[in-house]
Chains A and B, each alone.
Chain A
Amino acid sequence: MMLKLEKRGQFSRKFSAAVTVIFVAASFLVAGLIFEILGVRAVDVIARLFEVYLSERTLLEAALRGLPLGFAALGLTVAFKMNFWNIGAEGQIYLGMVAATGVVLLHAYYGLVPDFLVLPLMVVLSFLAGGLYCALPAFLKAKLGVNEILPTLMLNYVAYHFVNYLIHGPWRDPKGFGFPLSIVFPPYARLDTVLGHTAYIGVPAAFIIAGLLYGFIMYTPAGFEMRVLGQNYEAARYAGVRIGRTLLLGSLIAGGLAGLGGLTIVAGILGRMRPPSAYVGYGYTAIIIAFLAALNPWLAVPAAVFFGGLLVAGDVIQATLNLPFPAIQILQATIFLMIILGEFFKRYRLRVVI
């Protein structure tokens, strides 16, 4: 008896959604098994996780932690739709943090603009910083035909070390007893002072952006060009699409949104800048989220909240069940693997051959 793989023909959207749901559920089983092996009752872990989404306080926390993931994932839905494999949301998030923090520091020391303009300026500049950081590999692709995967990935390391340098060097709070921390952002530079909680402004903003992205992709000529380009490069050329321009615009949006994600970290979650080790991996998690949402911006927001909940649950589980934080990363990784497996089984079926 043997197992064989066979290509499936067509599959519908319903089938696709069902497979995703089944495989996400299966990832809980697999992760649960691993927890059991680690000597913890899987039911406890999973129960803790679901409790996160049930109480208002922790759900808000989940939404908050999900914001940087969500913004970055929103950007990725655009990039991936035009077949631009941006692995660099991580670095673009860092650049967004740098820009936002830079504005705060400049303002704190030199007082450039009225206080109420600082936050808008942070928004604009963190978007631009992330966007330009993503447009760089897009430019290389458009002009020289360099595949984007390696450059976007490599730029993550550059950004990581850049942030590290800043926070251990020039941007360290002089009154901070030598800890690698920036000054605490003043209230006018913090997102949680706008409506009382960062999630109150962040989640609606994310939904609005999702709506704008959806409209952009479906209704504007530029969005149409991105979809055609993602479908078939030759067809895009034939249709008269300005490919370089399209790549630049799409990557600017993608990186810009990741940059906004960076803003939500420093101006929302932390209220200051910390060494990057505190939030490493968000850009990669955003890739998982974009795929879990099947590149649909509307779904990216709830998917991000779900992943934010995983992070919160990680803390809870660590504290109450005495598991190390990486345990929750096991769950994340299993979900990711299962999504990939699910994508695979949408295209292939297993058959038993005797």
Chain B
Amino acid sequence: MSGPEYLVEMRGIVKKFPNVVANDNVSFTLRPGEVHALLGENGAGKSTLMNILYGIYRPDAGEIWVYGKKVDIRGPRDALALGIGMVHQQFKLIPVHTVAENVILGLREQGFVINERKINNELTQLIQRYGWTISPNSRVWQLSAGEKQQVELLKALYRKVRILILDEPTSVLTPQETVALFQTLRKMASQGLGVVLITHKLEEVFSVADRVTVMRAGRNVATKNVKETNIEELVELMIGRPLLKISSTRSLDTSKPVLEASGLVVLGDKGLEAVRNVSFKLYRGEILGIAGVSGNGQTELLEAIAGLRKIMRGKVLLDGVDITNRHPQKIIDAGVSYIPAEVLRYSAPEMTVAENLVLKAYRNHLFANSLMIRWRDVNRKAEELVKAFRIVTPTITNKVANLSGGNIQRLVLARELGTLPNTKVILAAYPTRGLDIASTEQIHQELVKRAEQGVAVLLVSEELEELMALSDRIMVMYRGEIVGVLRRGEYDVEEIGLMMTGVKRAEVSA
């Protein structure tokens, strides 16, 4: 196969936003047949660089060459016409439409004749070729995150892209889905496509990528062949120091639970029971991990405790007080903070960083009297939190929509961990999703610190390493039920993995 050496060559790309230089003279190349990982801290400029390649932003300076020709990409249409496809950090699907409708959306105007039967056949073939589970006729709102991802890939494949950009595709995937995705990516690469994979997970670089480019503060600091580097070197390149190990010395007081759930039954979006008869006790200073493939009722469980989803049967007690189905405001005031799985779903994107930071605390006497919000106090707190949680934003009056994905996550963490007084329970769903390694480390330490101070943490995660490092106990959820509970010291990856597929543990203790 002969052709130009590079599918894509970006030279000297500069992109400025008000008060931010998101890309500062960045160069980047993509070869045919390679998976090229793009690493870097939150706000380093990865998404911006790829959004430029996909035509969402226009660079202030620099050149883009595709297939050896200089091009001017003025919008996603130009990009698609050049065979460039992108799967965004946040999915851009229309929930009420079917998979097929989402795939053909935008094609109609391009003069394609829509033949539904033919399209469905083609889609079904593609789905089978990659061993996926979706059907062209399912509605998008019914799909899990992994399945939505498949729809996005399907969109790209159907448009016959030769250059595929994936922005943090695995942050919402289960480990199995990730493995499947990587097989797909390798398959695509072997057919000569170039794949750009933005990620924060270093293992992924080594399991799927051929080359890796590291970005830092808007510049590209290095491009390496994956075979010629190692984790330590990449960490050093990214954050300039090695990672710390988590350690905690805390003692549990198991005399009285802080949070006690008994026999909870909660319905999911599809109207089926998503949580079935779940009971557990959470003690002061304890981190209780919930393991499970996402979509097995974990999110619904947390939403129900937070008062955002109706509990059909069962009871939740907080310090002995019944908070079942209370108004979310009452539950917040009672000391429950909640880090949700989909942070954007629970943010006000057109409002400022400061406003989003006090989204829950605006009534609190720290920030308001009975009449007015004291914005001066809010702003002071916001400045403090922006520093403490290293939220990359030019000012606290910046719109949240302008933040990078990881920085929105940092903001939510800052809000839940930094603005609510007398927190007793932290409900944390995938708290480190989308965070770079340094921030992940920081959040882990923060959760441990809170536990040491006596706060009880309910931690939902798909990463067993994270769960095993932090939790005092791990319960495994499968199809809405708790299939077993393990204590620190009994953790065993294989066993937990098995339980996640529904195999019950012989001795169940909760």
Contact = CB atoms under 8 A, between A and B. Distances in A.
B328, B349, B355, B368 — which one has the most chain A CB atoms within 10 A of its CB? Answer: B328
B contact face: mostly helix, strand, loop, or mixed:
loop
Interface string B360-375: 1011000010011101
A228 B351 contact: yes
B332 interface: yes
B97 to A, nearest CB: 18
A81 to B, nearest CB: 11
Interface of B: 56-57, 74-75, 77, 109, 306, 308, 327-333, 338, 340, 345-351, 355, 359-360, 362-363, 368, 371-373, 375, 402
Interface residues of A, number: 22
A176 B213 CA distance: 87
5 contacts: A9-B57, A221-B363, A235-B346, A238-B340, A351-B74
Given A228-B348, A239-B360, 8 more contacts: A7-B75, A219-B372, A220-B371, A224-B362, A232-B346, A235-B347, A235-B359, A237-B328
A6, A228, A235 — which one has the most chain B CB atoms within 10 A of its CB? Answer: A235
B371 A4 contact: no
Contacts of A147: none
Interface string A1-37: 0001011011000000000000000000000000000
A2 to B, nearest CB: 9
Nearest to A241: B329
B331, B372, B375 — which one has the most chain A CB atoms within 10 A of its CB? Answer: B372
A240 B333 CA distance: 9
Interface string A214-233: 00000111001001100110
A234 interface: yes
Contact of B373 (A221, A242, A351): A221
A228 B57 contact: no
A10 B399 CA distance: 11
A329 to B, nearest CB: 34
A239 B357 CA distance: 11
Contacts of B330: 240
Contacts of A240: 327-333, 360, 363
A242 B372 contact: no
A10 B355 CA distance: 20
Contacts of B349: 231-232
Contacts of A238: 306, 308, 328, 338, 340, 346, 359-360
A82 B332 CA distance: 23
Interface string A195-226: 00000000000000000000000011100100
B328 A228 contact: no
Given A219-B373, A220-B371, A227 B75 contact: no
Nearest to A236: B348
A99 B362 CA distance: 37
A231 B340 CA distance: 18
Interface string A80-115: 000000000000000000000000000000000000
A7 B373 CA distance: 36
A234 B346 contact: yes
A232 B56 contact: no
Contact of A234 (B75, B345, B368): B345
A329 B329 CA distance: 48
A10, A220, A237, A239 — which one has the most chain B CB atoms within 10 A of its CB? Answer: A239
Contacts of B74: 351
A141 to B, nearest CB: 18
Contacts of B329: 240-242
Contacts of A237: 308, 328
B362 A9 contact: no
A232 B350 CA distance: 10
A224 B77 CA distance: 39
A6 B413 CA distance: 35
B75 A6 contact: yes
B403 to A, nearest CB: 13
A224 B371 CA distance: 12
A75 to B, nearest CB: 21
